[in-house]
Amino acid sequence: MQNSGAGARAFQNARLQKKLMKQADAIISAAASAYGQGKYAETEALCREILKALPDHVDAMHLLGMCAHDGRRLEEAQELLERVIALDPRLHDAHNNLATVHFDLGNFEEARRCQEKAIALKPNFAVALTNLGNTLMHLGQYEEALKLHERAIKIKPDYADAFCNRGMVEMLLGQVERAKQSFDRALLFQPRHAEAIVGNGMISMELRHHEEAAAKFAMALALKPGSPRILAQRGRLSYELQRLEPALADFEAALAISPKFELALQGKAQACLVMGKTAQAMAAATALIEQNPRSELGLALMGFCYSNQGEMDAAIEYLDRALAIKPDYEDAIRGKIFLLDYLPEADFALQQAVRRAWWDLIGSKLSRRTLPKRPLDPDKQIVVGYVAAEFRQHSAGLTLLPVLRHHDHANFKIICYYSWPGADEYTAMFKQLADVWVDAWQLSDDELADRIEADNVDILIDVSGHTNTNRLQVFARKPAPIQATGFGHATGTGMQTMDYVLADPVFIPPPVRHLFPEKIHDLPCLITMEPVSDLQPSELPMLRNGYVTFGVFNRIYKISDDAIRVWSRLMRELPGSRIIVKHGLLDEPLLRDGLVARFVAQGIAEENITCLGFTSRNDHLLAFANVDISLDTFPQNGGISTWESLYTGVPVVTKLGNGAPSRAGASIVASVGLGDWVAEDDEGYIEIARKFASQPALLAKLRADLPAKIAASPAGNVEIYTRELEAGYRQFWRDYCAAASDIDEGA
């Protein structure tokens, strides 16, 4: 009887299972329909109803996993899809969908494994092929990724996703035209394809067509509100336009949805670095490296975080790690060029070697223009074009403004190509001083080169050098017959297409000039500055205080450990002495506390150190009234800060170093007749400061006399300086005319 009862129960269970399965089929059909309409809550309710009766129902569990993924409950989605695969290991869709979850979690190797399994189960699985291509793209395997997208397109020729994904890889490979064709093809098959619209927005950004890009991102967000990818791209656009608050808001919004999203982490780190939020930038860079230890982006950004704190050795180590992964990573090369200027052992040879590396890997790959012949009149009005992101309140802008103010417009036509999206009161001044003004920040490199060529520029001047706002890729195309670099970062470019560097014999001494591909043209001084005429030197603070106050009004990342060691020794030898350090980044507690700790470690009492943050420029200049002697940073010297100090009557102690940036202070100080303030070594530096600190009467007289000394010097008298610069321009043009005539005669 017992066996008979068990058999009956088994029979009844089988019938019940059959009935439940039949009911489940109807419910799963309704759930699938609801999912297709984006009704995720309804889909989940129906799936849970099935799973209550049939806990191992594969389709219901699979659909529930998809809903969890779409609701950004990624861990739950992973667990559900792993259970689906455990129940049915040959379900290729489940492997592919689990891969998508891993991809969104930033687990790219896991995503790859799942996608490869899906393709092994179904070799012509177009969706998994293009998804694997995406994963490989994120792992930096671009050529392999491209092949997979091509395979997917071959299987499904109208597959919009595959065309879009192919476009993304082509963008990364620098194939902008091909990428545009891929995105357009995707939109041909699927006009409301949000990712393809975003792709076209990215191309508009690449070409600096910012309004077009904004319209594309708005259109994509209307189709996919809250998409982290689209938010991050819109954030990138705001960042490019220096709208930092909206940029950061978009990156934060993207990360709230997808905490490991690489593009958003990258954007957040970049925006925070510029905003002086170094701790937040470091956290974002750390997250990038944790999820992908070979992320060249993460490593480079971590390098820039360290450089913000003045830790240049650590910064360069991170940049070298990024370059070991991607040798032609331009941001990392540019960063290394900039940061090597801060190392005492980086001499002219090392500095020029890294600039040549940029040329070999990047600049030399760009096709050079063949310019049409032009009339060779050595005495004509010369068209001079200045390409600068610094036509604003910026140290390089302050060196260029007096030159533009004093240019002889009868002999020189001045065109300003402005490469920065922001504007201020200084921008308005520059605009008034130009014969022609071009908003070059809206032009791609090719478009800007076209414009320069159409403007018949004779001499094209680069102001930015290898700083992060440069347009050196335009100069690599050689759109003007004569090209020179100066004013902003005049340490040479390493470029075969750059003809001259504007410098002076102290900044770049004759024995090292053979290391430069450019010819060095000497000016009275490396840079000059607009006179500070409305500010007379104040009384010497030492006379009222009874102790000497040193000042360092420089970027804090120029403050090396060697400089702090020397300054601290100087202060210990002068009991009661104080130091004021002023820079905008000192508003951030992390950096301020870190700087003070470095002094305290050298035996300087915290109360003897004053840190000042950002102020208006007028208040910045007024703050020199509390300084007796300025101390130049080394090995990276001050530039405009040295001029500002001198104009306010505060002399500057400086020291000659091994490379160009460590000789800028001596160049400026010696050019106004203060050669006895230039030291050869640390001992000399301390001795100069100590000697003048012990002679308050002499220091007070020098303070009163300095503005007149500056005005009497060719370096400080901006009219004389500009005439000498123009004489150089005229000589460049005459030499070009003579050489071009010789070629014509030879032909």
Q: Do both 438 and 585 map to the same domain?
A: no
The CATH number given to whatever domain includes residue 588 is 3.40.50.2000
| pLDDT (0 to 100) of residue 94 | 96
pLDDT tens, residue by residue, 426-472: 999 999 999 999 999 999 999 999 999 999 999 999 999 998 889 99
What is the C-alpha to C-alpha distance for residues 527 and 357, in angstroms, rounded to an integer?
27
Q: Do both 426 and 561 map to the same domain?
A: no
Q: Do both 497 and 547 map to the same domain?
A: no
Specify if 674 maps to a domain. yes
pLDDT tens, residue by residue, 199-233: 999 999 999 999 999 999 999 999 999 999 999 99
| Residues 6 or more apart in contact with residue 598 via CB below 8 angstroms | 559, 561, 564
| Residues 6 or more apart in contact with residue 447 via CB below 8 angstroms | 207, 208
Q: Do both 659 and 596 map to the same domain?
A: yes
**Last residue of one domain, picked from the residues 152, 176, 191:** 191
659 neighbors 635 (Cβ within 8 angstroms): yes
The CATH number given to whatever domain includes residue 168 is 1.25.40.10
| pLDDT (0 to 100) of residue 588 | 87
Q: Do both 139 and 187 map to the same domain?
A: yes
Specify if 735 maps to a domain. no
| pLDDT (0 to 100) of residue 12 | 52
Q: Which domain holds residue 579?
A: 541-715
Q: Do both 448 and 481 map to the same domain?
A: yes
Q: Do both 582 and 442 map to the same domain?
A: no
Specify if 345 maps to a domain. no
Q: Do both 387 and 511 map to the same domain?
A: yes
Residue 113, Cβ density class (10 Å: 0-12 exposed, 13-18 middle, ≥19 buried) = middle
Sequence letter at residue 700:
A
| Residues 6 or more apart in contact with residue 114 via CB below 8 angstroms | 95, 96, 98, 99, 102
Specify if 415 maps to a domain. yes
Specify if 530 maps to a domain. no
pLDDT tens, residue by residue, 181-202: 999 999 999 999 999 999 999 9
665 neighbors 642 (Cβ within 8 angstroms): yes
**Last residue of one domain, picked from the residues 191, 220, 247:** 191
The CATH number given to whatever domain includes residue 420 is 3.40.50.11380
Tokens at 648, concatenated: 């306010």
pLDDT exceeds cutoff 50 at 566: yes
Q: Do both 577 and 482 map to the same domain?
A: no
| pLDDT (0 to 100) of residue 641 | 94
pLDDT tens, residue by residue, 1-10: 445 555 555 4
Specify if 459 maps to a domain. yes
Tokens at 366, concatenated: 């760009």
Q: Do both 482 and 577 map to the same domain?
A: no
Specify if 673 maps to a domain. yes
- Paired sense of beta strands 678-679 and 652-655, if any: parallel
Q: Do both 414 and 558 map to the same domain?
A: no
Query: For the chain, what is the domain count?
Result: 3
Specify if 339 maps to a domain. no
**Last residue of one domain, picked from the residues 174, 191, 208:** 191
Q: Do both 448 and 480 map to the same domain?
A: yes
